[in-house]
Chain A
Amino acid sequence: MLRVFKRLFRYDKRFRFGFSILTLFIMIALISLFSPYNMKAWNTVPRDMASSLKYPLGTNSMGQDILWQAMVAIKNSLLLGLIAALISRIIAIVLGLLAGYKGGLFDRIVMTINDSFIIIPLFPVLILIASILRTSLSITVLGIIIGLFGWAWDARLFRSQILSLKEREFTKTAVLSGMKTYKIITSEHLPYIIPLIMAATINNVIWVIGMEVTLSMLGLSNLNTPTIGTMIYWALQYQAIFLEKWNWILTPIISCIVLILALYMLSTSISEYLDPRTRLQMIKGE
Chain B
Amino acid sequence: MVFKKYIIPRFIQYITVLFIGITLVFIIPRLLPSDPVEHQLNRMTAQGQYLDPAAVEEMRETLQELYGLKGGLFQQYINYWKRLFTGNLGPSFTQFPTPVVELIKISLPWTLGLLLVSLMLSWVIGTMLGGIKVSFPNSILAKIMEVLAMGMRPIPYYIMALVLLIIFAFIFPVFPMAGGYSMGAKVGFNLRFILDLFRHAFLPIMSMVVLEIGGWFLQMRNVASNVVEEDYVVYAEASGLPKLKIIFRYIMRNAIIPQITGLALNLGFIFGGALITEIVFSYPGIGTLLYSAILAGDYNLILGINIFSIVGVSTAMLIIDLIYPLLDPRVRYQ
Q: Which residues of A are interface residues toward B (Cβ below 8 A)?
A: 112-113, 115-125, 127-129, 131-134, 136, 203, 206, 209-211, 213-214, 217-220, 232, 241-242, 249, 253, 256-257, 260-261, 263-265, 268
Identify 15 residue pairs between A and B in the complex whose beta-carbon atoms are under 8 Å apart, listed by A's number.
Answer: A118-B265, A119-B314, A120-B314, A121-B310, A122-B268, A124-B305, A125-B24, A125-B28, A128-B302, A132-B36, A213-B156, A218-B279, A253-B162, A253-B163, A261-B151
| Chain B interface, number of residues (Cβ within 8 angstroms) | 54
- B19-46 CB contact bits vs A (8 Å, 1 = yes)? 0110011001100111010010000000
A113 to B24: give the CA distance in the assembly, Å.
Answer: 12
> Are B306 and A125 neighbours in the complex by a CB distance under 8 Å?
yes
> Are A260 and B154 neighbours in the complex by a CB distance under 8 Å?
yes
A127 to B317: give the CA distance in the assembly, Å.
Answer: 22
B291 at the interface (CB under 8 A from A): yes
Chain A: minimal CB distance from B92 (Å): 15
Q: List, in ascending order, chain B residues with CB within 8 A of A125's CB.
A: 21, 24-25, 28, 306
Q: List, in ascending order, chain B residues with CB within 8 A of A128's CB.
A: 25, 28-29, 302-303, 306
> Are B34 and A123 neighbours in the complex by a CB distance under 8 Å?
no
Within 8 A of A (CB), among B295-311: 295, 297, 299, 302-303, 305-306, 309-310
Interface of B, secondary structure class, is helix
Known: A125-B28, A206-B154, A264-B154; 11 extra A-B contacts, CB below 8 A, are: A112-B16, A121-B272, A124-B272, A125-B25, A133-B32, A136-B33, A136-B34, A210-B159, A214-B276, A218-B294, A263-B154
- B307-324 CB contact bits vs A (8 Å, 1 = yes)? 001100110010000000
> Are A257 and B155 neighbours in the complex by a CB distance under 8 Å?
yes
State the total of A-B contacts with C-beta under 8 angstroms. Answer: 138
B271 at the interface (CB under 8 A from A): yes
Q: List, in ascending order, chain B residues with CB within 8 A of A220's CB.
A: 294
Q: List, in ascending order, chain B residues with CB within 8 A of A115's CB.
A: 13, 16-17
> Are B154 and A119 neighbours in the complex by a CB distance under 8 Å?
no
A284 to B314: give the CA distance in the assembly, Å.
Answer: 46
B150 at the interface (CB under 8 A from A): yes
